[in-house]
Amino acid sequence: MKAPPAGDLFALRRRPPQEKMADQGFRWMTIVLASLVGLVLAGILLTVLMGSREAMGRFGFQFLVLSDWDPVGDTYGAFTAIYGTIVSSVLALLIAVPLGVGTAIFITENLIPARIRQVLGLMVELLAAIPSVVLGLWAIFVMEPFLRPFLELLHTSLGWMPFFSTVPQGPGMAPAILILVVMVLPIITAIARDSLQQVPTELRQAAYGIGTTRWEAILQVILPAAVSGITGGVMLALGRAMGETMAVTMIIGNSNNFTLSLLAPGNTIASMLANQFGEADGFQVSALMYAALVLMLLTLVVNVLAQWIVRRLSLKYA
């Protein structure tokens, strides 16, 4: 048999060991880098768990239902913040979902010229790029003063309801909810738009083909087909709203006194962390870590649920 042409001009016909090592080394490097994701996640969980051990030992599950947050007396209960987190994000979504889905329909279902649709879509995406802290600044100096007369009107006319029972005095739950709406709107719009675009053209044509009007098709055929994708997007937005920090911190008032009124200052876990973590020491740090753990678990559940819903969707269209 002919020997391999060893004397030829190709010096690397036989791979030198360095080259094989580079190949293997690169592979291992990417494996290590990929596993950093797991490491960081484990690190986050571990840091928060270890930090909150002390508070967990002292308060146990009572921490979740007591609304007493007293750094001087060193007793802590996170109920106000947990309640604020859930109420603010759920109410924000109740407002943002119709707006976002409506906008998504408007920019996908060619009700208007393509040019305007593109501009609208771009604007919604740019809205997502504005930093939370800038929205907070705007909320403090522009939105809240502008809203105050309306909130006062709400108080005077509906003050008998516990939700509007206090006089609005600036920062509070209501403006925080509205700024959250602004923040989650782009997420919901983007995901709803993607889901609507994934609805097969045949389905649309089938609907129009049997003589439906555009909106009959949208409401009875297209939206139902896209509903699981939109639900996944709504869940993702819920997770984002729960963890949203800066804008909320700047406008919610940061009060740990529990009240049902949406016009009064309140707190969320994220805003409490932003406000107190830097200056806290001793046992308060542990209590804050415990609150952080609660927030993490809440968002984790919501996000995993969202992923599960989205995965089910992608299986359906595969």
Q: Which of residues 179-198 bind other proteins (CB under 8 A)?
A: 182, 185, 189
CB 291 within 8 Å of CB 210: no
CB 265 within 8 Å of CB 168: no
- Cβ-based nearer residue to other proteins, 77 or 136: 136
Interface with other proteins, residue 244, by CB under 8 A: yes
Interface with other proteins, residue 110, by CB under 8 A: no
- What sign does the CA torsion over 149, 151, 154, 159 have? negative
Quick count: other Cβ atoms within 10 Å of Cβ 189?
28
Instruction: Tell the smallest beta-carbon distance from residue 270 to other proteins (Å).
Output: 5
Quick count: other Cβ atoms within 10 Å of Cβ 293?
21
Residue 165 makes CB contacts below 8 A (sequence gap 6+) with 155, 159, 259, 260, 261, 263
- Cβ-based nearer residue to other proteins, 119 or 161: 119
Quote the CA–CA distance of 44 and 39 in Å, as a whole number.
Answer: 9
Binding residue (CB under 8 A) for other proteins from 243, 253, 265, 266: 243
Interface with other proteins, residue 29, by CB under 8 A: yes
- Cβ-based nearer residue to other proteins, 26 or 150: 26
- List, in sequence order, every residue forming a beta bridge with 69; answer none if it has no partner: 76
Interface with other proteins, residue 144, by CB under 8 A: no
Interface with other proteins, residue 124, by CB under 8 A: yes
Interface with other proteins, residue 202, by CB under 8 A: no
Quick count: other Cβ atoms within 10 Å of Cβ 203?
14
Binding residue (CB under 8 A) for other proteins from 69, 83, 92, 100: 100
Binding residue (CB under 8 A) for other proteins from 231, 245, 256, 259: 245
- Cβ-based nearer residue to other proteins, 4 or 73: 4
Interface with other proteins, residue 210, by CB under 8 A: no
